Chains A and B, each alone.
Chain A
Amino acid sequence: MSVEMAELQKKNGIPPIQFGEEVTGAETLLRCLILEQVEYIFGYPGGAVLPIYDSLYGSYFKHILTRHEQGAIHAADGYARATGKPGVCIATSGPGATNLVTGIATAQMDSVPLVCITGNVAQSLIGTDAFQEANITGITIPITKHSYFVRDIRDLPRMVKEAFHIATTGRPGPVLIDIPKDVANAKAPFTYPDQVEIRGYRASLVPSDEEVQEFVEAVSEAKRPVILAGGGIIAAQAEKELRDFAEKTRIPVINTFMGLGGFPGTHELSLAMPGMHGNYTANQALLNADCVIGLGARFDDRITMGRTKEFAPKARIVHVDIDPAELGKNVETAVTVAGDVKSTLAKAIPLAKACDSEAWISQLKEWREQYPYKYKKDGDVLKPQAVIELLYNSTDGEAIVTTDVGQHQMWTAQYYKFKHPRSFISSGGLGTMGFGFPAAIGAQIAHPDRTVISVVGDGGFQMTNQELAIVSQYNIPVKVAIVNNQCLGMVRQWQELFYDNRYSQIDLTCSPDFVKLAEAYGVKGLRASTPEEAEAVWAEALAHDGPVVVDFRVAQEENVYPMVASGNTLDQMELGDD
């Protein structure tokens, strides 16, 4: 063990680890986690992980007992997104493991570093359809970055070391370690490898000088350039480099949904979010640009609308991504750099010069002023967009905000101007309802002193609202803002627009009384139905030193605009009614 590690352990009150001591697989696992500087574990016990939970008993770890394994993995995910550190969760075999599946897929789609530990039945029972047996490594092959089934306790330390390395390097992602019960119970002298060696695995990609030179040249001649900055900026911690690069080259910045916060939404060069529910200016910028510079973005179909030939029709596309498979995957590119976006930009900044883009910038500014996000205020009716504006104004854009999936998610992305990376936490790729609330718990645990708001719909909240038990138990002061329109709003919107108002299975009017539900868990519950009430109630919520659920009763028939309908291109944008 390194000297620094030993000092760190001493400082944090972590017990010194005896190497060479004969310990069980379960104890081996926990010692490995200590050496990986894991502090929080989100999990749920069960038969196959009894040895692990026995070792956890009285240990240094802070274990958060969620009320469902899905809550555990989303909380670990929120923790990881809020910190950049890997999230760790534990579940038992069979149903415990399969309950992680949605969370694993969520993390994989958004490139979130997770280490998921599952128990399995003893190897003597593997393959016999034993009680609570599931082939979780097989089930999760398409949705993990990698996975391990531990056959021998002597492999466990190497596998844990590799799992953390793989989860956190390159393009991050979830790694699963499946430990059969006999391995957890077996004994071996404790060791931990100093280094990881995985043949053929490229942990980081620093671009060559030639590649960077080509990148800079491709960009510098542009007169109507625009940067499309994705979640890769946040994963690479490249926000400063992005800002320096954009300011020096005078290139406006569009943030993808996953990239929100990677560039300050309040910056004069910020064009906010593009795509299906993006704003007019960002989409016009893509339509009219002569050069689109994708930085850690993957040109997904909510931006290209799946019409990749018609996407950015006047532009050469320059693409930087740490994942070589993303280059040329969705759109035709002129110049590509397979590399870490932080080191690419750091190398590019000294070489870059200002583009001749001032006319373009003032055109964009004009559009921005002419076509802001807008909605119609309606007297005493509480509009959902007004709720998000209230959240933004009351926190000056400094809160960590998680969302669920649907209309409220889009309104949050539109009306909350994120200034900092890791402030906006949402399931962008998979679009997982039920993600937002447990993710907020993980984020709040990582940042106990920051305001953490979980914006949820009345639909998605009910998928994981059992985790109210843990915000109560551990006094985690998450502020839950339910944008309650008493229906599945995004589905309703599509049924209104594309299915002739045939509202099929969207009615949620018989949801529980969310104030009482909160109170049943010992959590403060509040309700607001008018803009005035909303302001008062929200102030009370923010002032409350503990978790709060606020039930914002909003207008039901509100649609998210702008909108580019499925199958259309970005120039066919509906701006909504005034």
Chain B
Amino acid sequence: MQRHTISVLVNDQPGVLTRVATLFGQRGFNIDSITVGGTEEQGLSRMIITTGGDDRQINQLMKQLHKLIDVISVTNLSENPFVSRELALIKVTASPSQLAELNGIVEPFRAAIVDVGPSSLIVQVTGDTEKIDALLVLLQSYGVIELTRTGSVAMARSIVPATAAATV
């Protein structure tokens, strides 16, 4: 099963998130992550949803999504080069004395330690999903107490002509 990143432009109406989420359930799809936020145009929101399925299933999902009245357009970003970013906060077991050691680990990832407590600290990392996964593996040996991730925000790269993206 391939992973897909789908961008859904919607009217910022009450209940629109429920409609989209319900459709995934109704059609037998799982939402791996979802982010919702404002767009370049007032009154519209953009949802970035990552999900799994073969091409035929994803095509069907996109068509069904487009049937929702509040959905304006649906684009499968995965079909062309795209930029994807996620933010994670990771609370790691560590004493202040381990700060320098941990800084050495997080710096190559351009991550930062944003809070230090007596027995734990918080790492903030931004990047694509794989990068965050990679850092997590390294931090796990210290003990991850809590993890929160935003899910991906994503955008097609500018070099791709707009017409080339598969849009329903």
- B window 12-26: CB within 8 A of A: 14-15, 18-19, 22-23, 26
Find out whether the CB atom of B19 lies under 8 angstroms from the CB atom of A145: no
Could you jot down 8 A-B contacts, CB within 8 Å? A142-B22, A146-B69, A199-B11, A200-B9, A200-B69, A200-B73, A324-B168, A325-B60
Check: A13 CB closer than 8 A to any chain B CB. no
Check: A182 CB closer than 8 A to any chain B CB. no
Question: A141 with B73: in contact, given A199-B11, A325-B63 (CB under 8 Å)?
Answer: no
Q: How far is the CA of A328 from the CA of B59 in the complex (A)?
A: 9
Question: A198 with B69: in contact, given A141-B18, A149-B14, A149-B15 (CB under 8 Å)?
Answer: yes
- A window 89-146: CB within 8 A of B: 137-138, 141-142, 145-146
Known: A137-B15, A324-B66. 7 other contacts (CB 8 A): A200-B69, A200-B71, A200-B73, A324-B63, A325-B60, A325-B64, A329-B60
**Which residues of chain A are near B15, meaning CB under 8 Å?**
137-138, 141, 149
Find out whether the CB atom of B56 lies under 8 angstroms from the CB atom of A328: yes
Q: How far is the CA of A138 from the CA of B17 in the complex (A)?
A: 11
Check: A166 CB closer than 8 A to any chain B CB. yes
**Which residues of chain B are near A198, meaning CB under 8 Å?**
69
Find out whether the CB atom of B22 lies under 8 angstroms from the CB atom of A166: no
Q: How far is the CA of A198 from the CA of B15 in the complex (A)?
A: 17
Find out whether the CB atom of A323 lies under 8 angstroms from the CB atom of B67: yes
Which of A's residues lie within 8 Å of B, judged by CB?
137-138, 141-142, 145-146, 149, 151, 166, 198-201, 323-325, 328-329
Find out whether the CB atom of B64 lies under 8 angstroms from the CB atom of A166: no
* Option from B9, B67, B69, B71 in Cβ contact (under 8 Å) with A325: B67
Q: How far is the CA of A149 from the CA of B64 in the complex (A)?
A: 22
Of chain A, the residue at the smallest CB distance from B62 is A325
Q: How far is the CA of A329 from the CA of B168 in the complex (A)?
A: 15
Check: B72 CB closer than 8 A to any chain A CB. yes
CB distance from A4 to the nearest CB of B (A): 28
Number of B interface residues, CB 8 Å? 22
B 65-98 binary contact with A (CB < 8 Å = 1; else 0): 0111101110000000000000000000000000
Of chain B, the residue at the smallest CB distance from A146 is B69
**Which residues of chain B are near A146, meaning CB under 8 Å?**
68-69
Question: A201 with B18: in contact, given A324-B63, A325-B60, A328-B60 (CB under 8 Å)?
Answer: no
Find out whether the CB atom of A199 lies under 8 angstroms from the CB atom of B64: no
CB distance from B36 to the nearest CB of A (A): 17
**Which residues of chain B are near A137, meaning CB under 8 Å?**
15
Question: A141 with B19: in contact, given A200-B72, A325-B64, A325-B67 (CB under 8 Å)?
Answer: yes
Q: Which of A145, A166, A201 has the most chain B CB atoms inside 10 A of its CB?
A: A201
**10 A-B pairs closest in CB distance:** A200-B72, A325-B63, A146-B69, A142-B26, A141-B22, A325-B64, A324-B63, A199-B72, A142-B22, A141-B19
**Which residues of chain B are near A149, meaning CB under 8 Å?**
14-15
Question: A138 with B18: in contact, given A325-B64, A328-B60 (CB under 8 Å)?
Answer: yes
**Which residues of chain B are near A199, meaning CB under 8 Å?**
11, 72
Find out whether the CB atom of B69 lies under 8 angstroms from the CB atom of A201: yes
CB distance from B13 to the nearest CB of A (A): 9
Of chain A, the residue at the smallest CB distance from B67 is A325
CB distance from B130 to the nearest CB of A (A): 32
Of chain A, the residue at the smallest CB distance from B72 is A200
Find out whether the CB atom of B69 lies under 8 angstroms from the CB atom of A166: yes
Q: How far is the CA of A151 from the CA of B14 in the complex (A)?
A: 10
CB distance from B7 to the nearest CB of A (A): 14
Q: How far is the CA of A7 from the CA of B110 in the complex (A)?
A: 72
Of chain B, the residue at the smallest CB distance from A175 is B69
**Which residues of chain A are near B68, meaning CB under 8 Å?**
146
Q: Which of B11, B14, B69, B168 has the most chain A CB atoms inside 10 A of its CB?
A: B69
Q: How far is the CA of A200 from the CA of B41 in the complex (A)?
A: 15
